[in-house]
Amino acid sequence: MIEKPIFLVGAERSGTTLLRLMLDHHPQVAFNYEFDYSVELITEEGCFPNLDFYCQWLSTNRIFLSAGFCIDKNLNYRELVNSFLIQKQEQNQKPLVGATVHHYFDKLPSIWPQAKFIHIIRDPRDVAISCVNMGWAGNLWTGPDRWIEAEQTWDKLEKSLSENQYIEIHYEDLIINVTDTLEKLCNFIGVSYDEEMLSYPQNSSYSLPDPSLVFQWKRKLSQQQIQLIETKTGDLLSKKGYSQGINSPIKIDFLQKIQLELESKLSCLYWRVKRFGLWLLLLYYLARKIGISTWEKRLRLELNRIEEKHLV
């Protein structure tokens, strides 16, 4: 087992891809992208999934398939997910290895109890805007939901970690003070900062840090939209180091919440229909409902193919 892998955790649209690219370009660090499939099927009680079921599930998991990892069915569950990190490490021929995890990362210590964690936090108002633009949320009321989930998961995980197991950084610091922030991270990991960490634009679609991407909500959102997000995030906003933009949060009653959540679901559904087509989505839903696994798998792979074309 890899004793001390490095996990980059935080909400989606919080700068995890950018930081992962920087880490992966360090001469001594191999860093894999989304690795949620290593813990997604672990139960709340900490039980690992049946291995045959897990392998079948992986056979249609778009992110796992894109990694190109081999599955050794002679291994137990812990050994198997660990083997994926070993394969990444061997592919890159680097002494240290890590991966990004956005969900369920509080379960990672059940596999790697000595793992190290980098927790990245971004202003939830910018995260909300980005989630709506991605079609993951239908309005700014549900826009910060993934951020809230991630921060609550982190608060749960942090309590179980020793001080030398984790470090927290803000996306805004990474963008504005990139070298200082990376030096701090490298010191935590146990390596020296290397300028190669900023060479990622040569082989990715990501540019060097742009300060104009920080606090976009101040330019893009109205007072009412800011109030909506700040009402949803509540005390977590200040707890995570961000000041309120509006000092008078609004009250959302039960019926308003239902209306906003329904509006968001309909908007997300419209977005999915526009991307995948109504017919394909209906067939996939029907295949799952009936339980025809071969048909469901074929349709899932077609959905994956379409999604791959629209990755940002």
Taking only the tens place, the pLDDT of each residue in 138-153 is: 999 999 999 999 999 9
Strand 6-9 vs strand 116-121: parallel, antiparallel, or unpaired?
A: parallel
pLDDT in tens, 261-288: 999 999 999 999 999 999 999 999 999 9
Task: Give the span between the Cα atoms of 157 and 97, in whole angstroms.
Answer: 21
Q: 3-state class of 96 per DSSP?
A: strand
Task: Give the span between the Cα atoms of 196 and 66, in whole angstroms.
Answer: 25
Burial class of 226 by CB neighbour count within 10 A (0 to 12, 13 to 18, 19+): buried
Domain presence at residue 138: yes
Which residues, including other chains, have CB under 8 Å from residue 160's CB and lie 6 or more apart?
106, 109
- Gyration radius of the chain over CA positions: 20
pLDDT in tens, 51-102: 999 999 999 999 999 999 999 999 999 999 999 999 999 999 999 999 999 9
Domain presence at residue 219: yes
Q: 3-state class of 63 per DSSP?
A: helix
- Least Cα distance to 121 among 266, 11, 5, 277 occurs for 11
Domain presence at residue 19: yes
For the cut 90, the answer to whether the pLDDT of residue 156 exceeds it is: yes
For the chain, the straight-line distance linking the first and the last C-alpha, in angstroms and rounded, comes to 33
- CATH number, position 14: 3.40.50.300
How much of the chain exceeds pLDDT 70, in percent? 100
When the pLDDT of each residue in the chain is averaged and rounded to a whole number, the result is 96
Q: What is the pLDDT of residue 53?
A: 96
Domain presence at residue 306: no
Joined together, the tokens standing for residue 251 give: 């009250």
Q: What is the pLDDT of residue 248?
A: 75
Task: Give the span between the Cα atoms of 283 and 41, in whole angstroms.
Answer: 25
Domain presence at residue 152: yes
Joined together, the tokens standing for residue 108 give: 């990672």
Q: 247 pLDDT band (50/70/90 cuts)?
A: confident
Q: What is the pLDDT of residue 170?
A: 98
Task: Give the span between the Cα atoms of 200 and 25, in whole angstroms.
Answer: 6
Q: Which helix (H) or strand (E) holds 33?
A: strand 29-34
Q: What is the average per-residue pLDDT within 98-108?
A: 98
Number of folded domains that form the chain: 1
Q: What is the pLDDT of residue 246?
A: 81
Identify the bridge partners of residue 100 per DSSP, sorted by sequence position: 8, 34
Q: What is the pLDDT of residue 312?
A: 52
How much of the chain exceeds pLDDT 90, in percent? 94
Q: What is the pLDDT of residue 45?
A: 93
Domain presence at residue 220: yes
The model scores a pTM over 0.85: yes
Identify the bridge partners of residue 7 per DSSP, sorted by sequence position: 99, 117
Is 38 in contact with 84 (CB distance < 8 Å)?
A: yes
Q: What is the average per-residue pLDDT within 283-297?
A: 93
Q: Which helix (H) or strand (E) holds 119?
A: strand 116-121
Q: 310 pLDDT band (50/70/90 cuts)?
A: confident
Q: What is the average per-residue pLDDT within 211-217?
A: 93
- Least Cα distance to 10 among 98, 99, 85, 103 occurs for 103
Domain presence at residue 298: no
Residue 230 domain boundaries = 6-276
Domain presence at residue 197: yes
Task: Give the span between the Cα atoms of 231 and 27, in whole angstroms.
Answer: 44
